[in-house]
Amino acid sequence: MKILSIESSCDETAAAVVEDGRTVLADIVASQVEEHKLYGGVVPEIASRRHCEAISQVVTSALEEAKTELKDIDAIAVTACPGLIGALLVGVNFAKGLAFSADKPLIPVHHLRSHIAANYVCHPQLKPPFLALVVSGGHTSFVKVNDYTDFQIIGATRDDAAGEALDKAARAMGLPYPGGLHMDKEAVGGNEKAFAFPNPKVDNSPYDCSFSGLKTSVINLLHNAQQKGENVNIKDLSASYLHAVVHCLTQRTEMALDEFGFEKLVLAGGVSANSVLRREMQKLCDKKGVQLFYPSLNLCGDNAAMVGAQAFYEYQAGHLADLTLNAKATCEIDNIDTILPLQ
Ligand code: KG4
Ligand code: ZN
């Protein structure tokens, strides 16, 4: 089954053609990152406008790269939630138009489900059940993936996402957007023990985490140093901060592996590109005898190949939309009923 998939939830306009959920025939990503860099973060209004300009060409390029015509596509998939509402609407409306004009089934896909599915493309042998850690710019959750379309959140951030905490702290340190990526590079060779950061716990919710205190403490540290005219070693600060964020994640992952006994751990989302996170999770998995999976670097960030991968399983589960499909800015990974038509 060949699926044409579209992604426009944040600042990448992407289209792909994926066969049977695992084989990528085309994967086109038009990134807006250089423009958003000027503002130190994603400007939603600019993102929506650039999606409108790029989407038609990006979809055409995906079909060309796959050496396929629209008539030979079996279904159209699109990220329908969660994300920036104006950005999502561009992809959703474009997909609805294509599905209507070419008379193809329309598959709405949850963005975080597709981040997890990036691993199906990279690891053909990977199958649920497994424990997934979804760490992106907007989300941080520990998820039991019982089956391809059966998810259960066991913990999540109570405030900032891990990626957001990295991006905001990096901006305060004077590093460019996207901050997580630049902090990863800056931290190489830095002393992770140079600065101590809090590791907040949430009462009665062992898998929940909180990053806003960490972010505030790095901002306060930089302001205090500035007021005293002291220099801060940004390499050491990056290494210590990353260590603190990663420690919060590995600690909870270890507890979850112990409690639920999963044999596989899957990392997903933009922050799964992080070298410290990968290294520390590998150490943990080696200790526990657990298999670790994460996507190749080109599939960690937003792309449409992962949308086509998850869409294949949503189609098999009968999760199809009609032309009443709307985008949603927020929607939990274990509750996509709200984007499906009323039965
Ligand atoms: O999944 P993604 O592309 O977009 C969302 O769905 O949010 O994730 C973007 C996030 C940003 O916070 C960015 O700083 C972070 O992923 N990121 C990284 C790295 N590369 C991207 N964070 C840490 N280390 C990296 N190498
Ligand atoms: Zn994403």
Q: Could you tell me how many residues make up the chain? A: 343
Do 63 and 4 contact (CB within 8 A), yes or no? Answer: yes
Q: What is the pTM of this model?
A: 0.97
Atom of ligand 1 nearest to the CA of 164: 12
Using the structure block, give the residue that is written with the tokens 């509402």.
85
Find the angle CA(162)-CA(167)-CA(170) to the nearest 5 degrees. Answer: 120
Q: Is 47 helix (H, G, I), strand (E, B) or coil?
A: helix
Using the structure block, give the residue that is written with the tokens 């302001």.
223
Give me the domains of the chain, ranges plus CATH numbers: 2-116+301-339 (3.30.420.40), 129-298 (3.30.420.40)
| One-letter identity of residue 69 | E
**How does pLDDT run along the chain (343 residues), one tens digit per residue?**
999 999 999 999 999 999 999 999 999 999 999 999 999 889 999 999 999 999 999 999 999 999 999 999 999 999 999 999 999 999 999 999 999 999 999 999 999 999 999 999 999 999 999 999 999 999 999 999 999 999 999 999 999 999 999 999 999 999 999 999 999 999 999 999 999 998 888 989 999 999 999 999 999 999 999 999 999 999 999 999 999 999 999 999 999 999 999 999 999 999 999 999 999 999 999 999 999 999 999 999 999 999 999 999 999 999 999 999 999 999 999 988 778 886 5
Mutate to test the pocket of ligand 1, among 157, 173, 181 (most ligand atoms within 8 A of CB): 181
Per-residue model confidence as pLDDT tens digits over 181-205 = 999 999 999 999 999 998 888 989 9
Dist CA 82 CA 65 (whole Å): 28
CA of 115 to the centre of ligand 2 (A): 7
What residue's CA is closest to ligand 1, atom 23?
180
Find the angle CA(162)-CA(294)-CA(301) to the nearest 5 degrees. Answer: 55
| One-letter identity of residue 18 | V
When computed from its CA atoms, the radius of gyration of the chain, rounded to whole angstroms, is 20
Neighbours of ion ligand 2 (CB under 5 A): 136, 302
The 291-293 sheet, strands edge to edge: 150-156, 140-147, 130-135, 264-268, 291-293
Please state, for a pLDDT cut of 90, what percent of the chain lies above it: 94
Atom of ligand 1 nearest to the CA of 83: 6
CA of 215 to the centre of ligand 1 (A): 16
pLDDT confidence of residue 343 = 56
- Tell me which DSSP letter residue 321 carries: B
Please state, for a pLDDT cut of 70, what percent of the chain lies above it: 99
Q: DSSP characters for 81-148?
A: ESS-HHHHHHHHHHHHHHHHHHT--EEEEEHHHHHHHHHHHH-TT--S-EEEEEE-SS-EEEEEEEET
Do 142 and 276 contact (CB within 8 A), yes or no? Answer: no
Dist CA 37 CA 206 (whole Å): 36
Q: Which residues contact 263 (CB under 8 A, 6 or more apart)?
A: 130, 290, 291
CA of 231 to the centre of ligand 1 (A): 28
Per-residue model confidence as pLDDT tens digits over 285-320 = 999 999 999 999 999 999 999 999 999 999 999 999
User: Number of helices and strands (H, E) in the chain?
Assistant: 10, 10
Instruction: Please give the mean pLDDT across all residues of the chain.
Output: 96
CA of 234 to the centre of ligand 2 (A): 27
CA of 189 to the centre of ligand 1 (A): 21
Dist CA 269 CA 66 (whole Å): 25
What residue's CA is closest to ligand 1, atom 24?
274
Residues with a CB atom less than 6 Å from ligand 1: 10, 136-138, 163, 166-167, 178-181, 184, 269-271, 273-274, 301-302
Dist CA 33 CA 20 (whole Å): 31
Per-residue model confidence as pLDDT tens digits over 3-29 = 999 999 999 999 999 999 999 999 999
Nearest partner of 104 among 64, 71, 58, judged by Cα: 71
Peptide bond into 178 cis (omega under 30): yes
Token representation of residue 55: 């989407």
